[in-house]
Structure 1
Amino acid sequence: MFYGKLIGGIIGLLTLGPLGLIIGLFVGHLFDKGLWQTMKFASPQNIARIKDSFFETTFLLSGFVAKADGRISELEIAHTEAVFKQMGLSAEQRKRAIGLFQKGASVEFEPEPAVASFMVVSRGQRQLCQTLLFFLISLALADHEIDQTETAALQRIATLLGFNPSQLEQFLRMAQAQDHFHGSAGAGRQSGTSLEDAYTALGVTSDVDDKALKRAYRKLMSENHPDKLIAQGVPEDMVKLATERSQEIQAAYEMVKKARGL
């Protein structure tokens, strides 16, 4: 990979002479190095490693969060089974997921090594980390509420993933509000869902202007776009879960649009 050095050297030579040539070669070298690292990271082999790590880490931490309050509830078991079904896991994948879940739920499990390994493989991609965290929040919300022990477990994981307490608090509020819009196009919206819930689901407040509202909505939809998630290393089967979240975001946005007459 030498295109950066070639172009940088030529530009430097033409603008600053021999000294510019040296500077241009150096800058071009840095460009080539960065481009090469990016290409390596996006290689099919590396993306496959990220997908495997994402799958493993998700179910390990799912078990850890589910057991945080001392027991795994029937709702959490049912939710996990629903996730398996929604993902369309093969018998072998399902067996692996259950094994990872049980390992994460064991008394001796500590999340730090698992998250550290994931961060190395994924290079700590923020969107990938956020997607993983939202999957875990979704599990914690299986019974439509999150207790203090689950919140503490999620905070422990969030910190390891690079998110501070206030960010996790916002994610929790958004996820809980989005849960009110469960179902395609809001068809499964819970009774009593308010306009305030819709704003919270979008991560904004009711005083947001129309332009900022659309920007927030588009950002959330982009973050959960299947092609983008797959390119980052989210397993195809798990992208189906993000698609459902997109439907909840869409339903919340439609409610706000209707209220505003947009």
Structure 2
Amino acid sequence: MSIWSSIADFFTQTAYSAFSNVIEAVRTYFEGDAETRRRVAFSIAMIALSAKMAKADGIVSEQEVRAFQDIFEVPEKEAHHVSRLYNLAKQDVAGFESYAGQIASLCRSSQTDGMEVGCDALADVLDGLFYIAKADGYVHDKEMAFLRRVAEIFAIEEDEFLLIAGRHVNLGPSDPYAVLGLTRGVTYQEAKQHYRKLVRQNHPDLVIARGMPYEFQKIANHRLAAINAAWATIEKKLDQHDYAG
């Protein structure tokens, strides 16, 4: 069963006029099915926070909507369920911080019962939000503030936040280094070793294994492409520098 069918079943059996209690309700509804519960929780988190972030700069652009659809790849027959979720989240009076807090809480509970969204998946949520935010060609100041606050609630450290941001926004002339989390002056061998570690850590299969639904594989693919592009930019320069030395 696809993630969208699971979400459709969930909303068919549960009635909500607001989004506020949806995430917590997932815990009860999918009791006994840890895998589906993890995937549905991740999906709903992305939908809720995407909807809230789209309004962060006061404008919901067509590009942002298309980016949302590009990540989610929703089958036509299930599109109305996702639209309902998206609209409920946009209209809900609860702030985005409550959604982010609920997802962070689910992550913390996973440390004891092993049944909820894995903590590493929170970085995947943030990565997907950056992907949507930059869709109109620019991550606005209010969107960046939104993303930084979500990262704080998720307990994502500043270094990791900048690493994720560096894959999506121009952080200056050292941008390729920021994407890889490297500092200037690193040797070729050190950089290559770190690059290979990042490739292993961000392989789509591993990202899915830690809780990201199969349907969202584009997030992982985009991340890996950004890592490879950054490495290609600096590899030759580092190699030549070491050779000259």
TM-score, normalised with respect to structure 1: 0.67
Structure number with higher relative contact order (C-alpha < 8 Å, ≥ 6 residues apart) = 2
Runs of 4+ with deviation above 4 angstroms: 164-167
Cα distance, 1:107 vs structure 2: 5.8
Are residue 162 (structure 1) and residue 150 (structure 2) matched? no
Are residue 227 (structure 1) and residue 205 (structure 2) matched? yes
Structure 2 residue aligned with 1:110: 95
Secondary structure at the residue paired with 1:68?
coil
Secondary structure at the residue paired with 2:33?
helix
Which residue, 146, 169, 172 being the options, matches 1:176? 169
RMSD: 2.7
Which residue, 83, 89, 110 being the options, matches 1:98? 83
Q: Which moved more, 1:49-58 or 1:141-150?
A: 141-150
Structure 2 residue aligned with 1:245: 223
- In the TM superposition, what are the counterparts of 1:1-262 in structure 2 within 5 Å? 45-84=33-72, 87=73, 89-106=74-91, 108-122=93-107, 123=110, 125-165=118-158, 167-177=160-170, 196-261=174-239
Cα distance, 1:195 vs structure 2: 7.4
Residues paired across the two proteins, number: 202
1:143-184 Cα distance to aligned partner (Å, 9 max, x none): 232222112211221111112456434432333259xxxxxx
User: Contact 1:75/1:142 (CA < 8 Å) preserved in 2?
Assistant: yes
Cα distance, 1:256 vs structure 2: 1.6
Cα distance, 1:49 vs structure 2: 0.8
* Runs (5+) with no aligned partner, structure 2: 1-31, 111-116, 241-245
Counterpart Cα distance in 1 of 2:199 and 2:159: 22
Counterpart Cα distance in 1 of 2:62 and 2:122: 27
User: Contact 1:60/1:101 (CA < 8 Å) preserved in 2?
Assistant: yes
Return the letter of the residue paired with 2:145.
Answer: A
User: Contact 1:58/1:132 (CA < 8 Å) preserved in 2?
Assistant: yes
Structure 2 residue aligned with 1:38: none
Tell me: CA distance 1:226–1:164, structure 2 relative to 1, closer, same or farther (3 Å).
closer
Secondary structure at the residue paired with 2:168?
helix
User: Contact 1:221/1:246 (CA < 8 Å) preserved in 2?
Assistant: yes
Instruction: Kindly name which structure, 1 or 2, has the bigger radius of gyration based on alpha carbons.
Output: 1
Return the letter of the residue paired with 2:189.
Answer: K
